[in-house]
Amino acid sequence: MKSNQSKRNQTILVMIICLMCLIIIVPAARGQIQLPDLPENVYLFTSFGGDGGGLHMSWSTDARKWNELHGVFLVSKVGSGLMRDPFVLRGQGRQDSSDYQMVWTTGWSDKGIGYASTQDFVHWSIPRYLPFMEDVNGTRNCWAPEIFYDDTRREYMITWSSSVDGRFSETESDVRMNNRTYYVTTQNFRNFSKPQVLIDPGFDHIDTTITKDGNQYIAVIKEGDKQSTGEWGPIHILTASDPHGPWTLQKPPIVTERAEGPALVKVNNEKLLYFDYYGQNRYGARATKDWTSWRDVSSEVEVVEGQRHGTIIEVPSRVLEFLLVRNKGWEIETPPSVVPVNTADPSVRVFGDRYYLYPTTDQPNWMTTEFNVWSSPNLIDWKFENTIIDLTKQIDWADIRAWAPDCIERNGKYYFYFCGDGKIGVAASDSPTGPFKDALGRPLLTRQGQVRTNTIDPWAFIDDDGQAYLYFGQPPCHVYKLNDDMISFDGDPVVIQLREFREGIVVFKRNGKYYFMWSIDDARSPNYRVGWGTADSPFGPVKSHESREEFIVLEKNEPVIGTAHHSVFNVPGTDRWYVAYHRHAIKNGGGYNRQTVLARMLFDDNGNILPMNPMVSAFKPGDRGEPIINGKGLPEDPLTADDQ
């Protein structure tokens, strides 16, 4: 019979293969890693290091003796770029129950907070800035946010402390701030209520943390210090029968020494309150069973040196086991490149029962001369097909800068639009893999006359009524109607205004709505990213969301950077959509050294494109991908090989 240790090690292997269906890990020998014997659940202590340079963590089996997890688990530059007071709560009550939601202080004077989520504390969503108090005049700060799940209303409460000029004038002071606890509610961490005051005990306070015990709600707060006079604010407890209040201050205070950053955790039938003796660089702790009688258990706890204000959270032991494996040096991979060579500006098209990839082949300084094509039956297994055009051998009017192609089929013929030496040409073939022949013997488009944009990045689109269009430009975006021959134009070009448009226009149609997506910034920039908008016509006008969080749907999530210049394609017969984009190569990458990657693109109920995380793979190991049979994708979402 196998030992518990052996079973646990095997469990970890399975977990790493399919953990949360989001991550890919480099295989390694399991037996070389000796893991501690752990109970079913363990505790993680989140914290920040130094002045707020990133997320640090430690772990414990009893919430008293803590062991360091080495490394920084998340760094964020949202807001003013700090990460202080990181608070984590496991998602509850909805489909996000396997996620851990984290909020943090982003700066001393910011009017919002930071937010990200994770399923394993290694792979994180793209950090977002939540500007809760930006529209509240006189706001000085947003400090120490936390999350509480209100199980009666089935919604989350996000709390924080803010000092707002002109409010609570009776407690204004020259020797300390005038913070109160504010909150918003949310069910999805995207739509939020307006900020309101939650707790006003009649004095300045920060570091509010809330828990539920039976039918009673408990809040612990830190009264503000008067540092210039050496008066240190106590740590207090408040109670309520409803998390929205009213809250009643209980006396006496729990802690009267110079301390801050209270963190609560329930262990068996006891509640522990940790707090930071920030003037002494150490932690203290109190324990209670009834929230009234407290005993000092500081001598019983051992906190990792340098630990600062954070959260204590109970998690399944498998989460810790994964983190311990990571700390032993396993390499955590980013999503895989589609093909083994460096490519960029990918256009993926569906012809028949196969997918075809037409990219730019990267060379130093973008001095490329040829176009290649790969194909796949399922988006996982790719085959190099052919070099379909070599500018130096087949094109008379260009011999360099072979960039950003696209291909489309009409009436059994394939039209390949491509860039050569800053001009756009068109070639034709009877096969998606060529051979292609220059259809005109001259450029289709050059920058002259009514074309007042750089003639690069062509994108072909055929509407439901059969009308074809060719979009292009850098900037602004231009579009021509194509004639039926696909190599000449009907009428003059139309200029389409797009927010922050740089290049790489993509247009598609879903549920009667025209979607426009495009690249922002320079391809050599790590901030190369994708914005979007919609229109009721293929000529626009295009409307985009005002908020950056809804407007930008693909951007860097380090170490993945430079994520843009993409294409969009649909699995035939389904409402499943994918994006092929390029990123800077993970090793020795940059604007001339890039990799093509796939991402699943999802929509909300209103048709909005949801942000894509470039640290999440389109498929997990063992998936069969998206095979097409008789011109249609499978009726269900992609299944693993074991499900076939």
Instruction: Let me know: does 553 contact 610? Beta carbons within 8 Å.
Output: yes
Out of 120, 207, 345, 555, the active site residue is 345
Decide if pLDDT at 586 tops 90.
Answer: no
The whole-number pLDDT of residue 329 equals 53
User: Rounded to whole angstroms, how far apart are CA atoms 445 and 454?
Assistant: 10
Q: Does residue 372 surpass a pLDDT of 90? A: yes
Q: Which pair of structure tokens corresponds to residue 412?
A: 């059994």
Give the class (CATH, top level) of 41-316: mainly beta
Residue among 426, 512, 493 at smallest CA distance from 453: 493
| Per-residue pLDDT band at 308 (split at 50, 70, 90) | confident
Mean pLDDT of 343-347: 97
| Active site annotation includes 438 | no
Share of the chain above pLDDT 70, in %: 91
Please check whether residue 311 is in contact with residue 58, taking contact to mean a CB–CB distance below 8 angstroms.
no
User: Residue 256 contacts by C-beta under 8 Å, 6 or more apart in sequence?
Assistant: 232, 234
Q: How confident is the model over 334-363, as a mean pLDDT?
A: 95
Q: Which of 31-35, 330-334, 338-342 has the highest mean pLDDT?
A: 338-342
Q: What is the pLDDT of residues 613-626, one digit of tens each?
A: 898 899 988 889 99
Under the banding of pLDDT at 50, 70 and 90, the label for residue 27 is very low
Choosing among 2.115.10.20, 3.10.310.30, 2.40.30.60, 3.30.750.80, the CATH entry for 343-643 is: 2.115.10.20
Q: Of residues 503, 555, 623, 626, which has the active-site annotation? A: 503
- Rounded average pLDDT over 188-194: 93
Report DSSP state, residue 124: B
Is the pLDDT assigned to residue 391 strictly greater than 70? yes
**What is the Cα–Cα distance from 604 to 188, expressed in whole angstroms?**
12
User: Residue 140 has what pLDDT?
Assistant: 96
Average pLDDT over the chain, rounded to an integer: 89
The residue among 203 and 317 whose pLDDT is bigger is 203
Top pLDDT among 266 and 12 is at: 266
What strands lie across the sheet with 270-277, from one edge to the other? 260-267, 270-277, 282-288, 295-296
More confident site: 397 or 23? 397
Report residue 640's pLDDT band, with 50, 70 and 90 as the boundaries: very low
**What local confidence, expressed as pLDDT, does residue 6 receive?**
43
Q: Is 503 a catalytic residue?
A: yes
Q: What are phi and psi of 8, to 5 degrees?
A: -65, -40
Q: 31 or 311, which is more confident?
A: 311
Domain regions of the chain by residue span? 41-316, 343-643
Give the model's pLDDT for residue 332. 54
Q: Give the integer Cα–Cα distance in Å for 94 and 117.
A: 14
pLDDT digits (tens, 9 = 90+) for 131-161: 999 999 999 999 999 999 999 999 999 999 9
Query: What local confidence, expressed as pLDDT, does residue 637 receive?
Result: 55
Residue 363 confidence class, pLDDT cut points 50, 70, 90: confident
What integer pLDDT is reported at residue 15 of this predicted model?
A: 41
Given a cut of 80, whether residue 122 has pLDDT beyond it is yes
- 268 pLDDT above the threshold of 80: yes
pLDDT value for 306: 82
**Torsion, Cα of 158, 160, 163, 165 (10° steps):** -10
pLDDT confidence of 565, banded at 50, 70, 90?
very high
Our CA angle for 214, 216, 220, nearest 5°, is 120
Largest Cα–Cα separation, the chain: 89
Residue 638 confidence (pLDDT): 47
**Beta carbons of 507 and 515 less than 8 angstroms apart:** yes
Please give the average per-residue pLDDT across 310-325, as a whole number.
Answer: 88
Please report the pLDDT score of residue 24 as a whole number: 36
Task: Give the separation between CA 506 and CA 493, rounded to whole angstroms.
Answer: 17
Q: Evaluate whether 41-316 and 343-643 have a shared fold.
A: yes
For residue 180, is pLDDT > 90? yes
